[in-house]
């Protein structure tokens, strides 16, 4: 199985901007050319329709940006999962920044949680949640996944050595790894908007 993880930063369709139109085309062409069995796309737009894939999304994003086009078919989500296999969506406690499903192949099943550890509540005046609250919600969802054949993939919005998010990094490190999760990219110095994968070992 080939799984692609990518933050596509809310592409916009049907705008008058050639730059935005070209960007959508490049994203679509790249996804098709990579030919993954499953994609976990963060900061996505359900208007990007991949033929031959089943798709599920987190709840529609409430974070409005004035410069972004909301004309149909544009609909924005923090997470979208596309799968060539049958998928069954599962309920999560925090549905805006995460989506959970089970992927069913011919001889296997995979528990998959796509997520964004968001920083957006810092910008949303009517939100009662702080960054730490959202972080704890994500950790709760991860640690309640089945302990075999589970994968977490998405945009954690932090990297090792990022001083402003050092506390979040240490929290994830301690809260996740004590449950037996493997964090293969933990020590990599990847730039802003990274795509960490956490996977349970059998």
Segment 108-152, tens digit of pLDDT: 899 999 999 887 787 777 888 888 898 899 999 998 998 888 999
Query: H or E element: which one contains 81?
Result: strand 76-83
For 3-200, CATH number out of 2.60.120.560, 3.40.50.300, 3.60.10.10, 1.20.140.10 equals 3.60.10.10
Between CA 14 and CA 76, with CA 24 as vertex, the angle to 5 degrees is 70
Query: 0.95 exceeded by the pTM?
Result: no
Indicate the domain borders of the chain: 3-200
Select the more confidently predicted residue: 154 or 119. 154
Return the structure tokens found at 106. 């011919």
Judge contact between 81 and 44, C-beta under 8 A.
Answer: no
Dist. CA 29–CA 195, nearest whole Å: 20
Of the chain, the end-to-end C-alpha distance in Å amounts to 17
Mean pLDDT to the nearest integer, 11-34: 94
pLDDT exceeds cutoff 60 at 195: no
Structure tokens at 21: 């139109």
Higher pLDDT, residue 106 or 25: 25
């Amino acid at each position: 199985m080939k799984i692609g993880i990518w933050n596509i930063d809310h592409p916009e369709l049907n705008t008058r901007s050639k730059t935005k139109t070209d960007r959508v085309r490049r994203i679509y062409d790249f996804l098709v050319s990579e030919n993954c069995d499953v994609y976990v796309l963060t900061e996505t737009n359900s208007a990007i329709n991949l033929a031959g894939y089943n798709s599920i999304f987190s709840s529609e994003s409430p974070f409005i940006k004035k410069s972004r086009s909301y004309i149909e078919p544009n609909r924005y989500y923090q997470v979208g999962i596309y799968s060539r296999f049958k998928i069954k969506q599962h309920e999560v406690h925090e549905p805006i920044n995460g989506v959970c499903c089970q992927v069913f192949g011919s001889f296997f099943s995979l528990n998959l949680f796509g997520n964004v550890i968001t920083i957006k509540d810092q910008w949303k005046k009517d939100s009662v949640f702080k960054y730490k609250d959202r972080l704890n919600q994500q950790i709760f969802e991860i640690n309640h996944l089945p302990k075999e054949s589970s994968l977490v993939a998405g945009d954690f919005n932090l990297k090792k050595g990022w001083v402003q998010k050092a506390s979040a990094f240490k929290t994830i490190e301690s809260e996740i790894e004590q449950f037996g999760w493997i964090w293969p990219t933990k020590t990599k110095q990847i730039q802003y908007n990274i795509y960490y994968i956490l996977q349970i070992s059998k």
